[in-house]
């Protein structure tokens, strides 16, 4: 195990910068999308809001999704390539969802659940279960 600090530093810096850039990209995209809500049905993440995650252009939306415990969440992959919705703690996992396919996950545990795409690990999202 090398413990050379100089060697590790760029890796650490990259590990911090990449998620930050991804976050900024998602925030910017969400702002743009909210001004141009003609693509899909209107959605909100407030009380009684949507219980669905759409995957499009290698992004999850809405992100974060806020749902009540026990809610079934419909996951739709609108891309032409397969994706997954996989919990970091593996408490839920859609498995490979082909382009155009839909599935449902049920979130029993309250809390903040972070998930990712098991094929494209840079794709991440959050579900807040209340
Ligand atoms: Cu993916």
Determine the distance separating the centroid of ligand 1 and the alpha carbon of 119, expressed in angstroms: 5
Confidence class for position 109, pLDDT limits 50, 70, 90: confident
C-alpha 82 to ligand 1 mean position (Å): 6
Q: What separation in Å is there between the alpha carbon of 3 and the centre of ligand 1?
A: 33
Q: What is the pLDDT of residues 16-75, one digit of tens each?
A: 455 444 544 444 443 444 333 333 333 444 444 579 999 999 999 999 999 999 999 999
Q: Where do the DSSP E strands lie in 34-101?
A: 52-56, 59-61, 65-67, 71-77, 86-87
32 C-alpha to center of ligand 1: Å? 22
Share of the chain above pLDDT 70, in %: 62
Instruction: Extract the tokens encoding 97.
Output: 């969802």
Dihedral, CA of residue 94, residue 95, residue 101 and residue 105, to nearest 10: -10
SS3 11: helix
């Amino acid at each position: 195990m090398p413990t050379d600090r100089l060697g590790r530093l760029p890796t650490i810096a990259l590990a911090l910068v990449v998620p930050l850039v991804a976050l900024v990209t998602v925030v910017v995209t969400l702002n743009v999308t909210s001004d141009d809500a003609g693509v899909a049905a209107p959605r909100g993440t407030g009380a009684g809001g949507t219980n669905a995650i759409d995957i499009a252009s290698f992004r999850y939306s809405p992100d974060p999704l806020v749902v009540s415990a026990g809610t079934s969440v419909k996951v739709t992959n609108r891309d032409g390539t397969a994706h997954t919705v996989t919990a970091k703690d593996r408490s839920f996992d859609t498995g490979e969802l082909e382009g155009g396919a839909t599935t449902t996950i049920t979130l029993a545990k309250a809390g903040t659940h972070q998930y990712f795409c098991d094929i494209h690990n840079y794709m991440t999202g959050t579900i807040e279960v209340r």
